[in-house]
Amino acid sequence: MAYEAYSAVDLYGGQPGAALTDLVTLKNKTILKNIVIHNTTSSSSKLQLHIIRPGKTAGPETQRIGTSIASEDTVKFSFETVLPKGTKIAALQTPAGALSLDISGVEVISVV
């Protein structure tokens, strides 16, 4: 009998670039839980984040976050979104070097 095991996972920690770039490609089915964004500068900055499921490309229908973060502010987004294996999380920030991201979730692993 097969069942599923759940494991908390740190999906990404760092700063996205000024061009839309893949941050992580999911290795297993994953429940996206939290995205924490911190603006490390004294000016507001913008973030655009995309959830790109397998077979899709980045575009308006894949954008999940489009927000401005005030100077030296921290914003947290909470999710309960199940994403299939192979989904990419991509982001860009304006200006570059302002925003730090932490993305976490729960991997769902099939166990036989």
pLDDT digits 0-9 by tens, 70-85: 999 999 999 999 999 9
Return the number of other C-beta atoms located less than 10 Å from residue 72's C-beta: 12
Q: Is 3-101 assigned to CATH 3.30.1370?
A: no
| 8 A C-beta contact, residue 95 and residue 45 | yes
Is this model's pTM higher than 0.75 or not?
A: yes
pLDDT single digits (tens) 20-49: 999 999 999 999 999 999 999 999 999 999
So where are the chain's domains? 3-101
